Amino acid sequence: MNNSGSESKSRVRCSEIMTKNVSTVTPEMSLYDVAKRMKEGDIGVLPVVEESTGKLVGIITDRDIVVRVVAEEKLVRETLVKEVMTRDVFTAKPDDFAFTAARIMGEKQVRRVPIVDDEGVLHGIVSIADIALEMEDQLEVAETLEEISSGKAFWSK
């Protein structure tokens, strides 16, 4: 393969591969409503945004609900997203190279990276699958996905 094809793949921007119409929730929603939305959309993670501004303020996962609510015997109809969401979210910008999102995934051991603008407004989300589709070497893809999923710090190699 020639270098120009490989080079153009490495210059793909997050905005080119991100999912744009992302389902979101607000901090004031009950976890019951969030769990229903996750079930209906077959989704395991939802960005949490301020309703009035669209700014990303956190992320909530199905694991958050199980560990922080169900296992603690809290009531899902009474517990709000803002009480259990993860606030420390690792993000990238739309114009960042996709490699930046992949690096964040590896370093922070996350499977999705929300894409926000300079004001923190959510524009989309990049997943491991989005990155995998852009990588050319299937062995590299397999190793990268395995290492992210296993928790190994492959970026320190």
Residue 97 pLDDT > 80, yes or no? yes
Q: Which domains does the chain have, with CATH numbers?
A: 12-150 (3.10.580.10)
pTM for the whole thing? 0.80
pLDDT band at 89; cut points 50, 70, 90? very high
The reported pLDDT for the residue numbered 134 is 75
φ, ψ (nearest 5 deg) of residue 47: -65, 145
Q: Percent of the chain beyond pLDDT 90?
A: 73
Average pLDDT along the chain? 86
Report CA-CA distances (Å) from 75 to 2, 45, 101, 147: 58, 20, 35, 35
The reported pLDDT for the residue numbered 154 is 46
- 84 CB-near residues (< 8 Å, 6+ apart): 31, 60, 64, 65, 68, 69
Mean pLDDT value of segment 112-124: 97
Residue 123 pLDDT > 90, yes or no? yes
The reported pLDDT for the residue numbered 11 is 82
pLDDT band at 149; cut points 50, 70, 90? low
